[in-house]
Structure 1
Amino acid sequence: MDGKLAVIGLGSIGSMALWQASRLSDSVVGFEAHSPAHARSAVGGDTRLFSMVYRGNPAYYPIRKRSRELWAQLEAETGQSILTRCGGLSIGKKDGAYVSGVLETARINGAEHQILSREEMAERYPQHNLRPEDIAVYDPNAGALRTDRAVTTAIAAAKANGATVHSNTAINSLTETEEGVVIASGGQSWTFENVIVASGGWSRELLPEYLKSATETKRIILTWFVARDGAEFSPERFPIFTRMYEDRSMYGAPAVDGVTVKATLDGRGRPTPDAGSVPRELTPAEIVETTETVAEFFPGLYPNIVRSDAFPDLYTKDHAPLLGWINEGSRIYCASGFSGSGFKNATGYGEIAAEEALGKRSFQGLDFIRPERFK
């Protein structure tokens, strides 16, 4: 036996699972097919949005609350600044489906928020060119997560706790035995009591058929623009944002480098057959739609894409994660399928995966993200 727990894939969720597991056991090993936080994974792109006010299933709210606590804990433990607490805006038509959904979920959860009229928005956040019927919902607890820093910091913390990390070690197969799980990479093999599969778009190769048929790898694009006045789009003056309409949608983050603003089309993930060869160049249609949207939404940005990239992630049919054992009695735990929305809750998901995979405790009320729902 080479250890109690192996974590396969040290990206968004795997790095956090390894960090949490290293606090519970001195027999934890992480495997990464490339180098941690490599540029082709779903970690790429500098920042991800964190918010406590959102539209969707209220059952995610306790995970978000715990994730916020754990982001602060990771910062305190390592001395690194990971979550830039700049607030967040959800913008849309006053009586539209998006804003109505955001307010309904916030009220159910009791999430702290403030409704800003079009006039209040013009005074506080003039960077946004609003439509006549627009309002915004302000989230004081939102911010921008620094992805590369988060992942490398979590892995460093895990190693400091005694975890072992094998970089540039792609896992080819998993074989369950009566004693544990044999994992193989080329001509090497190791045996662990339990295994967490957290390799994002590459996870399908290691999952059973019923989960392969319930998932697909998609390509996510990101784009950046230069601000005419960088100070106007600094974290101190420009919160993270999501804007949703029937004809246009976009989300983004402030200029954490003082110059470039992330402003990206929302919900444009499209299937790609291979996570390792995602087309990085934008299509002409993606370029046109992105620049037209920025030109309307943000007069203070030059409407020219100065940087763009594309990354893979594993999506499920219902866009909810896969977090749990792949079969009853199995020793393989799945922590994947986060459908482009996993990073904000990565610390919370990592804690759940680590504690359950090590047999420390079982979390209740998570049927909506358990893999067995697709059986």
Structure 2
Amino acid sequence: MPSYDAIVIGVGGMGSAAVYHLARRGLQVLGVEKHAIPHEMGSSHGYSRMIRYTLQEHPSYVPLVRRSYELWHEMEETAGEELMVTTGSIRAGAPDSPFFLNAQEACDLHSIPYEILTASEVNKRFPGYRFPEEISSVYQADGGFLLPERCIVTHVQAAERAGADVHSQETVLDWEVRGDGVQVRTDRDTYTAGRLVVTAGPWAANLVPELAAYAVPERQVMGWFQPKRPELYAADAFPVFGLFTEEGRYYGFPSHAVPGFKIGRAHHLLQKVDPDAINREVHPEDEDILRQAVNRYFPLAAGKLLDGKTCMYTNTPDEHFMIGTLDGQPQVSVAAGFSGHGFKFASVIGEIMADLAQSGATEHDINLFRLDRFKE
């Protein structure tokens, strides 16, 4: 029976980084992924994933994203390729909205430089935008996007060079605690390890049932629209954005890797799903939801829909992550419930999960993400 120091279940954004950080520390590591690496079945695809300091979610995220930036740059050097594209970032909404004010507060508390721009200033500086006058923006120059598929692949390749075993297309059937360690049974083999790390995205609750009530998958749709003036939606001309409006909370990206201006609406249709039975087709209703924002706020990008893809959020009740070791099972650590804003943190989450697997603790402040907080 093959034996390892640690087994990581789920080798997407978080899991690939966890495998890497464990392997670089000299541990014998196995990563197990039920799909291909990378794949389009979960939450770590779509050519671009945002990274930003304007973290209206909570100021506690800022030190983590600062470390993430450092680690992404290190991985770029290790891999010898670009993983992060800097475009600047915009967080926009009514000037008295929590979305706008909290983004500003997070920067203020951590001395992150930014500008406050009126709608006319945004529209003049970035002509692909057409914000109405009631919208104000926090512009931060260091924002941009990660290349998620390449981020995963480079983490896996670096982990393998450090001695890790990574298995794709292998499904975990069950796991159990055995003494101070664990046993993991898959559709190929049975493995033992001293530590288990679960980073299975929307499938996490299938592996750790106590997460089921708190880490709930939701169907999400991304669309790529044909710009009428493509040069206005290039990475050197168009910042990534988050926009809170009466129609909902939208986010978007310049064209990259494939043609088209990319946009999504957070909590698209509020569709809770089984990750193995999600409707992956993009329907006219999905396009309509995205197009109404394109027409109103980005009219020069309102050409035909070039492509659409589904992905999943895995939402917690407060939309903060769930990270920690299981109660009474300290050899098992979990990272789940990233609620649609997690990928930017994947590099530091990998470091945190390696810390938890090795010592049960981390120097990073993860108090906001305690597994037991919903039971209080």
Aligned partner letter, 2:147: R
Equivalent residue number for residue 129 of structure 1: 130
Matches within 5 A, 1:1-375: 2-186=3-187, 188-209=189-210, 211-257=211-257, 259-268=259-268, 270-359=270-359, 362-363=362-363, 365-375=365-375
Give the secondary-structure state (helix, strand or coil) at the position aligned to 1:280.
coil
Aligned partner letter, 1:252: G
Give the secondary-structure state (helix, strand or coil) at the position aligned to 1:127.
coil
Q: Displacement, 1:283? A: 4.1
Q: Are the counterparts in 2 of residues 86 and 140 from structure 1 also a CA contact under 8 Å?
A: yes
Q: Displacement, 1:272? A: 3.6
Q: Are the counterparts in 2 of residues 367 and 373 from structure 1 also a CA contact under 8 Å?
A: no
Q: Displacement, 1:269? A: 5.9
Q: Displacement, 1:229? A: 2.2
Q: Displacement, 1:258? A: 6.8
Q: Displacement, 1:186? A: 2.7
CA–CA separation in structure 1 for the residues paired with 2:63 and 2:244: 25
What are structure 2's unaligned runs of at least 5 residues? none
Give the secondary-structure state (helix, strand or coil) at the position aligned to 1:238.
coil
Give the secondary-structure state (helix, strand or coil) at the position aligned to 2:301.
coil
Pick closer, same or farther for the CA change 1:291–1:333 going to 2, 3 Å. same
Q: Are the counterparts in 1 of residues 24 and 159 from structure 2 also a CA contact under 8 Å?
A: yes
After superposition, the C-alpha distances for 1:67-94 in whole angstroms (9 at most, x for unaligned) are 0100101101111211001111112223
CA–CA separation in structure 1 for the residues paired with 2:184 and 2:118: 56
Give the secondary-structure state (helix, strand or coil) at the position aligned to 2:241.
strand
Q: Displacement, 1:123? A: 2.1
Pick closer, same or farther for the CA change 1:167–1:187 going to 2, 3 Å. closer
Aligned partner letter, 2:326: I
Pick closer, same or farther for the CA change 1:78–1:320 going to 2, 3 Å. same
Give the secondary-structure state (helix, strand or coil) at the position aligned to 1:204.
helix
CA–CA separation in structure 2 for the residues paired with 1:208 and 1:75: 36
What are structure 1's unaligned runs of at least 5 residues? none
Pick closer, same or farther for the CA change 1:77–1:183 going to 2, 3 Å. same
Q: Are the counterparts in 1 of residues 315 and 338 from structure 2 also a CA contact under 8 Å?
A: yes
Aligned partner letter, 1:30: G
Aligned partner letter, 2:122: M
Q: Displacement, 1:243? A: 1.1
Aligned partner letter, 1:102: A
Aligned partner letter, 1:205: N
Q: Are the counterparts in 1 of residues 228 and 303 from structure 2 also a CA contact under 8 Å?
A: no
Structure 1 consecutive aligned stretches of length 4 or more whose deviation exceeds 4 Å: none
Q: Indicate the larger mover: 18-27 or 4-13.
A: 18-27
Scaled by the length of structure 1, the TM-score of the pair is: 0.95
Pick closer, same or farther for the CA change 1:313–1:170 going to 2, 3 Å. farther
Q: Indicate the larger mover: 27-36 or 315-324.
A: 315-324
CA–CA separation in structure 1 for the residues paired with 2:120 and 2:270: 37
CA–CA separation in structure 1 for the residues paired with 2:266 and 2:18: 28
Pick closer, same or farther for the CA change 1:110–1:214 going to 2, 3 Å. same
Q: Are the counterparts in 1 of residues 219 and 273 from structure 2 also a CA contact under 8 Å?
A: no
Aligned partner letter, 2:251: Y
CA–CA separation in structure 1 for the residues paired with 2:10 and 2:181: 19
Indicate the RMSD between aligned Cα atoms, in angstroms. Answer: 1.8
Q: Are the counterparts in 1 of residues 17 and 351 from structure 2 also a CA contact under 8 Å?
A: yes
Q: Are the counterparts in 2 of residues 356 and 363 from structure 1 also a CA contact under 8 Å?
A: no
After superposition, the C-alpha distances for 1:92-131 in whole angstroms (9 at most, x for unaligned) are 2233332222212221222221112233223211211111
Pick closer, same or farther for the CA change 1:58–1:34 going to 2, 3 Å. same
Scaled by the length of structure 2, the TM-score of the pair is: 0.94
Q: Displacement, 1:58? A: 0.9
Aligned partner letter, 1:69: E
